[in-house]
Structure 1
């Protein structure tokens, strides 16, 4: 089952490439394969929040909040 989250769109480095995140799986893929840093505190928190959401320990909506904090930390733009 794909665990839906409130959608968000991210753009790295002011570039033209955007990533739309609609599910916890999208968030995990973005963090693990497309994130510009892998050692920030908010990045690590977002990874843990995703794991908790996958295992049903927290609501999927928490993933969006964690992604927003990680994006701010990494300088990734959030398009609303």
Structure 2
């Protein structure tokens, strides 16, 4: 797998404190962007686990559903509202 490859999962909407900061995360690339550029904290246990799982998904060593769950846990840890959308 490469970063340019679309690894999709059911979307997670992230609502940050600023109402203009709303993100729909549905790919490994989108997850990496949100984690590295948008999350208010970058040193929490769940945050670091989400980064690791993101890399594992891209490498083909983890499933995209694991990344989705990790994003939700990291958001909870950081006080970011996460709305899990199911298709």
The answer to whether structure 1 residue 54 and structure 2 residue 58 are counterparts is yes
Shift in Å, 1:78:
1.3
TM-score by length of 1: 0.93
Partner residue of 1:76 out of 55, 66, 80: 80
User: What is the aligned residue count?
Assistant: 79
CA distance in 1, matches of 2:25, 2:75: 12
Unaligned regions of 5+ residues in structure 1, if any? none
For 1:33, the equivalent position in structure 2 comes to 37
- After the TM superposition, which segments of 4 or more aligned residues of structure 1 sit over 3 Å from their partners? none
Provide the aligned C-alpha RMSD in A: 0.9
The answer to whether structure 1 residue 5 and structure 2 residue 9 are counterparts is yes
Shift in Å, 1:4:
0.4
> After superposition, what is the alpha-carbon deviation per residue over 1:6-54, rounded to whole angstroms, capped at 9, x for unaligned?
11100112x3121000101100000011110010000000000000000
Unaligned regions of 5+ residues in structure 2, if any? none
For 1:63, the equivalent position in structure 2 comes to 67
TM-score by length of 2: 0.86
CA distance in 2, matches of 1:37, 1:47: 12
